[in-house]
């Protein structure tokens, strides 16, 4: 006697859920650079800035210091990319030459982290609370100076 077996129905995996962001808390996440952008023995992580807020945009000036000597910084805007109530931006830490040491051997600190309402606005505005994620990829990490 032959018994027919049917193959199980294919299961389509659910896409990963988007993280739930706290209101008015900026989340800054460090992640290794994509394989095609990473250069062995260097450090130039991908950094994502996200803020769930009523704001339409926020201008940031951020300067990072590696091992107390090399600064990488930029000014950029967080904007709403989709109708989610989240303003964000993501980029590699520098568009220039990466720091010539692996991130796991580098001490990273923040020299400047300031906020403005717009490019035309000369005065800084208070930044929201900031939480950092992915900092364990560095030998050590020092957050925003007081």
pLDDT digits (tens, 9 = 90+) for 113-138: 999 987 677 788 899 999 999 999 99
Q: Is the pTM of this model over 0.85?
A: no
How many Cβ atoms sit within 10 Å of the Cβ of residue 97?
11
Of residues 81 and 38, more confidence is placed in 81
Q: Which fold has domain 25-142?
A: Immunoglobulin-like (2.60.40)
What is the distance between the alpha carbons of residues 82 and 113, in angstroms, rounded to a whole number? Answer: 25
Helices (H), the chain: none
The answer to whether the CB of 44 falls within 8 A of the CB of 93 is yes
Q: What is the pLDDT of residue 130?
A: 95
Q: Which residues of 30-59 are buried (b: 16+ CB within 10 A; e: fewer)?
A: beebeeeebeeeebbbbbebbbbbebeebb
pLDDT digits (tens, 9 = 90+) for 7-59: 555 555 554 455 678 888 999 999 988 755 667 888 889 999 999 988 888 99
Closest CA to 113 of 70, 69, 76, 67: 76
Mode of pairing for the β-strands spanning 25-31 and 46-52: antiparallel
In percent, the amount of the chain with pLDDT more than 70 equals: 83
Q: What share of the chain is helix, strand, coil (3-state, %, to 5)?
A: 5, 45, 50
């Amino acid at each position: 006697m032959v018994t027919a077996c049917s193959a199980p129905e294919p299961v389509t995996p659910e896409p990963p859920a988007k993280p739930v962001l706290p209101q008015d808390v900026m989340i800054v996440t460090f992640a290794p650079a994509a394989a095609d952008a990473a250069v062995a023995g260097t450090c130039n992580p991908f950094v994502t800035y996200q803020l769930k807020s009523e704001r339409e945009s926020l201008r940031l000036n951020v300067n990072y210091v590696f091992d107390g000597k090399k600064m990488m910084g930029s000014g950029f805007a967080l904007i709403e990319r989709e109708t989610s109530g989240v303003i964000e931006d993501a980029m590699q830490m520098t568009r220039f030459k990466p720091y010539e040491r692996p991130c796991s051997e580098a001490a990273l600190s923040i020299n400047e982290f300031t906020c403005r309402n717009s490019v035309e606005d000369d005065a800084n505005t208070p930044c929201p609370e900031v939480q950092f994620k992915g900092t364990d990829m560095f030998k050590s990490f020092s957050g925003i100076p007081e």
